[in-house]
Amino acid sequence: MENSKTAMISIEHSKESAKESILYSYKHGFSGFAAVLSQSQAKLIADVPGVVNVVPNRILNLHTTRSWDFLQVKPQIVDGILSEGHSGLGTIIGVMDTEGIWPESESFRDDGMGKFPSRWKGICQEGNRFNRSHCNRKIIGARWYIKGYEAEFGKLSPSDGVEFLSPRDAVGHGTHTSSTASGAEVKNANFRGLAQGIARGGAPSSWLAIYKVCWATGDCSSADLLAAIDDAIFDGVDIISASLGSPPPLSTYVDDALAIGSFHAVARGISVVCSAGNTGPYPQTVINTAPWVMTVAASTIDRDFPAVITLGNNQTVVGQSFYTGRGLNKFHPIVYGADIAATNIDGTSAGSCDLETLNATLARGKVILCFQSRWQRSAAIASKSVLELKGAGVIFAQFPTKDVSCPWSFPCVQVDFEAGTSLLTYMAASRKPVVKFSFSKTVIGQQLAPEIAYFSSRGPSSLSPSVLKPDIAAPGVDILASWSPAASSKLLNSPQTKASPFNFKLDSGTSMACPHISGIVALLKGIHPKWSPAAIKSALVTTEASMKDEYGQNTVAEGAPHKQADPFDYGGGNVDPNKALDPGLIYDIKPSDYVCFLYAMGYNSTAIRLMTRVHTPCHKSVKFLRNLNLPSITLPELKQRMTVSRTVTNVGPVNSIYVARIQAPAGIDVSVEPWILTFNSTTKKLKFKVTFCSQLKVQGRYSFGNLYWEDGIHVVRIPVVVRIVINNHLYSET
């Protein structure tokens, strides 16, 4: 790095100007720096001896009560206090998916929290409306990073009240994710009367360290993110929670800031949990696919928010809504958006109630029925369009989903296409069709759950298809958690809504699923402090993570159409935290194995050494891709016969005998050798091989199965994914 800094001085012609150009020096987890350079300067730096790569700053995006009870996570109380190990006590969660935190929230009070550990080296960085007093025995550290963001977009001014140049949260996202992972218990929490109950995080005794790398625009600089990870490693966090990333095309692992930073964190025993992305339900959209991170998909819980639409003939249609405001208790005329199109606007655009497509006179005072279209998919846009024309409300018909996308601040009810079509039938048969809405209410236990959310990004990985992603699914739909009052006050802009800023909010996204896993990882770390990040991931994925809903039916993945969920939707399944505490067997991985994985990916050896700072003798053998000791087996190119190996470590009873059971993918013969594993006081690790042989003579789609190891107490399951390839021609359908 010294050579490159010397080159910077030469390029800038002075130490002073070179110093001004350098944004960050990375020194704790990895070596390098971030600087503002022209393209020609970047090329000159790239040619300096010792500089392996110059990577452009990338802009990443954020991905955004009942959920912990649904997962049956109940922190154990002993003698009136939370017991160690069952509440995350002793662990530090570094929240990096964040636009900061609202420290005054009840979720972050420090009642009963002990003093932070002596190993903690973090700071409480001051700034706009945030000083050292805002840290406590719950929030033990807070930092903010803006140099990379401002180098990309220019100076950010806090004078307009949209943002705080400090760890304070102006948007709500960071407060929501932090409280989901580790918030204290808050009674009578609710969002405008909905989802009322006790809100808490999964690991309420964990300490929180906040690293604000994202800003009110929703953008996050990769240079800032690397600086945050570098500091988090130095500070001493145990878990990094990162609900952010870039959509495909994915950068190589040696060029991706999150992959680089997380590698060094994992090499130091820090578990890194990432969101899978919100571009589902399409295949190959999953992001954050490095094998050393935990990638989390979003699923539903058994809570919904029904609102009844009453027609003029006293028939009713049920949809979902977050609206609890005024103006619902009387009938209003209802019209279809396509029937009141503005001049020179086609019926399709008006039918979806896109902006500036409706006739203002004909929309005023009416409820508008809108149908989702290929070009206009948002209930929020439809509501904005109708609100601007002083309409009375919106009924938005769309594909079936549990995620409520209607805004809470305007009368809007979300229905499926079938219900929307029945409304059209009523309107056609009535001379003066009218409707009225009931208030939305909270109902628990009447929704089949969990289902994989429509928006949750799907596998296979477009970068490393031999690595199954996502790894696991967790609740991420309509999750209640703490919110920033500064953010909520900016949303109160509807004449129907007269309310004070709120402190809790319902939100959806893989951003909401990610901190659920982060909290569960803290629980596991509290009980098994010496387990590696790979061991913890294995425990979550293999312990019969549920592939079924609460009624024993196969989990469904929302999509077009809905289908039975598979490993590309949820990895190992929907997380089961209680079973993960005692997995029986684990699939462990050393950091050096990840280095060999990078070699097998075909990356430049010098780039790998500089990225990892590890000198590991590895061969560039593609066999290593399938033999990496992951808690899954994925063969994207099975041609005839193929054998893979795995090694399991016994973490259950010392004397244990496990027997293999195979649920073979369709059209594939599978055998295991040996099919019995015997552990004792001297034998704690055993290797086995799995051989796959295609029965088919034609190319097929991916097919799915499972490999089980059972000892009468534990059921250790890994998903198996295989695609047949003939004559080197890939079959692209999934």
Three-state SS for 330-377 is: CCEEEEEHHHHECCCCCHHHHHCCCCCCECHHHHCCCEEEEECCCCCC
Would the pLDDT of 509 be above 90?
yes
- pLDDT single digits (tens) 353-395: 999 999 999 999 999 999 999 889 899 999 999 999 999 999 9
Rounded to whole angstroms, the Cα distance separating 485 from 499 reads 12
Residues 6+ apart with CB under 8 A from 484: 100, 102, 169, 170, 171, 172, 174, 175
| 81-82/77-78 β-pairing | antiparallel
Q: How confident is the model at residue 347 (pLDDT cuts 50, 70, 90)?
A: confident
Average pLDDT, stretch 233-240?
97
Rounded to whole angstroms, the Cα distance separating 579 from 585 reads 12
Q: Note the pLDDT of residue 15.
A: 63
Q: Note the pLDDT of residue 733.
A: 39
Q: Note the pLDDT of residue 11.
A: 56
Q: How confident is the model at residue 658 (pLDDT cuts 50, 70, 90)?
A: very high
- pLDDT single digits (tens) 609-623: 888 887 778 877 878
Would the pLDDT of 84 be above 80?
no
User: What proportion of the chain, given as a percentage, has pLDDT over 90?
Assistant: 66
Rounded to whole angstroms, the Cα distance separating 266 from 593 reads 12
Rounded to whole angstroms, the Cα distance separating 503 from 488 reads 8
Residues 6+ apart with CB under 8 A from 325: 409, 411, 494, 496, 497, 498, 499
Would the pLDDT of 151 be above 80?
yes
What mean pLDDT is reported for the chain?
88
Range in 6-15, 120-129, 263-272, 450-459 the model is least confident about: 6-15
Would the pLDDT of 537 be above 70?
yes
Range in 180-194, 221-235, 242-256, 687-701 the model is least confident about: 687-701
CATH topology classification for 628-733 = Immunoglobulin-like (2.60.40)
- pLDDT single digits (tens) 251-306: 999 999 999 999 999 999 999 999 999 998 999 999 999 999 999 999 999 999 99
User: What proportion of the chain, given as a percentage, has pLDDT over 70?
Assistant: 86
Q: Note the pLDDT of residue 332.
A: 95
Average pLDDT, stretch 628-652?
95
Q: How confident is the model at residue 43 (pLDDT cuts 50, 70, 90)?
A: confident
Are the CB atoms for 567 and 597 separated by under 8 Å? no
Q: Note the pLDDT of residue 5.
A: 54
Average pLDDT, stretch 576-589?
94
Count of CB atoms situated within 10 Å of the CB of 383: 26
Count of CB atoms situated within 10 Å of the CB of 350: 25
Rounded to whole angstroms, the Cα distance separating 207 from 189 reads 21
Q: Which two tokens stand for residue 13?
A: 């012609």
Burial class of residue 235 in the structure, from the number of CB atoms within 10 Å of its CB (0-12 exposed, 13-18 middle, 19+ buried): buried
Average pLDDT, stretch 729-734?
42
| 92-98/207-212 β-pairing | parallel
Q: Note the pLDDT of residue 623.
A: 87
CATH topology classification for 306-437 = Glucose Oxidase; domain 1 (3.50.30)
**Nearest to residue 43, comparing CAs of 28, 30, 53?**
53
Q: How confident is the model at residue 412 (pLDDT cuts 50, 70, 90)?
A: very high
Would the pLDDT of 538 be above 90?
yes
If you search the block for the tokens 């700072």, which residue do you land on? 613
Would the pLDDT of 491 be above 80?
no
Element housing 190 (H / E): strand 186-191
Catalytic machinery residues: 97, 173, 511
Rg (alpha carbons) of the chain, rounded to whole number: 27
Q: Note the pLDDT of residue 19.
A: 65
| Three-class secondary structure assignment of 37-82 | CCHHHHHHHHCCCCCCCCCCCCEEEECCCHHHHHCCCCCCEECCEE
Would the pLDDT of 592 be above 60?
yes
Superfamily (CATH) of domain 67-118+147-302+453-564: Peptidase S8/S53 domain (3.40.50.200)
* The one-letter amino acid at 277: G
Rounded to whole angstroms, the Cα distance separating 69 from 521 reads 17
Would the pLDDT of 156 be above 50?
yes
Domain range annotation of the chain? 1-47, 67-118+147-302+453-564, 306-437, 590-620, 628-733
Phi–psi pair at 664, nearest 5 degrees: -75, 140
Element housing 734 (H / E): none
Element housing 601 (H / E): none
Would the pLDDT of 671 be above 50?
yes
Would the pLDDT of 24 be above 90?
no
Rounded to whole angstroms, the Cα distance separating 540 from 240 reads 16
Q: Note the pLDDT of residue 65.
A: 55
Range in 23-32, 207-216, 640-649 the model is least confident about: 23-32
More confident residue, 323 or 65: 323
Would the pLDDT of 13 be above 90?
no
User: Cα–Cα distances in Å, from 53 out to 26, 47, 290?
Assistant: 15, 9, 19
Burial class of residue 53 in the structure, from the number of CB atoms within 10 Å of its CB (0-12 exposed, 13-18 middle, 19+ buried): middle
Count of CB atoms situated within 10 Å of the CB of 54: 18
Domains 67-118+147-302+453-564 and 628-733 agree in fold: no
Q: Which two tokens stand for residue 90?
A: 């002793």
- pLDDT single digits (tens) 304-326: 999 999 999 999 999 999 998 87
The span from the first CA to the last CA of the chain, in angstroms, equals 44
Q: How confident is the model at residue 67 (pLDDT cuts 50, 70, 90)?
A: confident
Q: Note the pLDDT of residue 732.
A: 41
Q: Is the pTM of this model over 0.85?
A: yes
Element housing 227 (H / E): helix 222-235
Triad 493, 496, 502: Cα angle to 5°: 60
Q: Note the pLDDT of residue 549.
A: 59
Element housing 492 (H / E): none
* SS3 state of residue 490: helix
Rounded to whole angstroms, the Cα distance separating 521 from 527 reads 10
- pLDDT single digits (tens) 547-567: 655 556 677 787 767 889 999
Rounded to whole angstroms, the Cα distance separating 712 from 724 reads 34
